Amino acid sequence: MRKLILVSLTLLLLCSAAATNLQAQQPSPTPGPLTFYYDYSVFPGKEEELNTLIRTVGAPVRDKLLAEGVILAWGMETPLLRYPGGTTHLIWFTVANYAGVEKVLNGMEAQLAVHPLPAKIANARTLLVRRRGYQSAALDALRKSLR
């Protein structure tokens, strides 16, 4: 009886050690690309002003970073299903890592410093009902630590 218990415990120990060793040998998965987006609710009839703003302010920065390989893809979308107070437009970009996000945000800040928004658009209330950006708190902490 003692021999049976001892053999069982030994087999259990060997199996758990083998499983632990197997887990340790597997490489940790690399994180995939990161996609960040901003959604906007634009007043009816002001969509063309937003498109002009995207073409003149945002697109040059994103196109340059796309050519450099920092941005993997970017775009502007309009949801098909709309409801009062809901999102009318989305601007998104995909990067490989947080360093890419930092480059995009710094590029946009530099672009706005060189080409400030027109006075009628600077007051976003004339164009937008709402603007929300989706970023993690970790990104905000990263941005502060890099400055």
What CATH number does the domain containing 109 carry? 3.30.70.100
CA distance 31 to 96: 9
Instruction: Identify the pLDDT of residue 136.
Output: 47
Structural domain of residue 75, as residue ranges? 34-135
| Position 50 in a domain | yes
pLDDT at site 114: 83
Domain total in the chain: 1
pLDDT attached to residue 138 = 47
128 assigned to some structural domain: yes
* 41 φ, ψ (degrees, to nearest 5): -115, 110
pTM of the model: 0.63
Which segments of the chain have a pLDDT < 50? 122-125, 130, 136-139, 142, 146-147
Q: Is 146 part of any domain?
A: no
In a domain, 120, yes or no: yes
Give me the pLDDT at residue 46, please. 83
Position 103 scores a pLDDT of 93
Q: Report pLDDT for 57.
A: 84
